[in-house]
Amino acid sequence: MTTGIQGRKSSLFLPTSSSATSDYLSLANQGTGIANLSPNSDEPFSISAWFFTEETGTQTIMSNVVNSANDGYWFGLNGGKASFKWSNTGGFPQLTSSGNETTYYGGPWVHMIVTYNGGGNATGLTLYTNNAFAVAGPSSTIGTTTNATDDIRIGQGSLGGFKGCVSNVSFWDKELTPAEIDYIYHGNDGGRGPGDLNYHPSFSNCIGWWLSDNADDDSSTIYDSTANSRNFTVNGSSSVLRRMSP
């Protein structure tokens, strides 16, 4: 399979077997609030990631819900379609893109991002894939996050693991604009592919950035490339990390 990604090289590699859900990255629960990667309904945020997969079905990119009874968000592919779910007291808003998303399988790499304006209603949620609008949230009040006690994970959550590769996951404490999303999508000197987010005009709002070609990444730890030092632990295979060629 073609796994080259333009620009940045680090990538989380996960086995393609349907039973391979033991390889993932984890960060111990940090508490509630956007500063702890667990936003409340009045806090704007964005989550961005690049992925490659040859599998269909439901797959987790990033989530802070391991136990489905707990509050939190889930970001990934639902039935093969771009999706974001946010479980909280008083609501369970969900966005899932429409249409046949067959272009996600077998390459090339796909960029996916969810943004939220902090307005307290799911209409403030928007999903984008490959720099294009995918779907906006339904009219639904977003409740209070009161029971977000699980780990934060990349490559696994309450709906299972991810079968393929994930790269350049970033978490922001603002609703990124289409222009700011375009800067991520065309980050490699204007070419399609992730570049160095240190040069993003809103990098001061990036509160976590992982799988970013960090020279310190190794078989046990994936380091945060912002100053916040929220480093993820590698669970499962010691060869989870792959450095892909562009």
Please name the residue ranges forming H helices in the chain.
178-185
Distance of alpha carbon 241 from alpha carbon 111, whole angstroms: 19
Q: Are 168 and 51 in contact (CB under 8 A)?
A: no
Evaluate if residue 202 carries a pLDDT over 50.
yes
pLDDT score recorded for residue 45:
97
**For 132-189, how does the pLDDT look when each residue is reduced to its tens digit (9 = 90+)?**
998 888 888 886 666 677 899 999 888 888 888 899 999 999 999 999 999 999 986 6
**For 207-239, how does the pLDDT look when each residue is reduced to its tens digit (9 = 90+)?**
999 998 888 888 889 999 999 999 999 988 756
CA angle 97, 99, 101 (to 5 degrees): 80
Q: What's the rounded mean pLDDT across residues 1-16?
A: 54
Distance of alpha carbon 211 from alpha carbon 217, whole angstroms: 8
pLDDT score recorded for residue 91:
59
Evaluate if residue 107 carries a pLDDT over 50.
yes
pTM equals: 0.90
Distance of alpha carbon 67 from alpha carbon 204, whole angstroms: 32
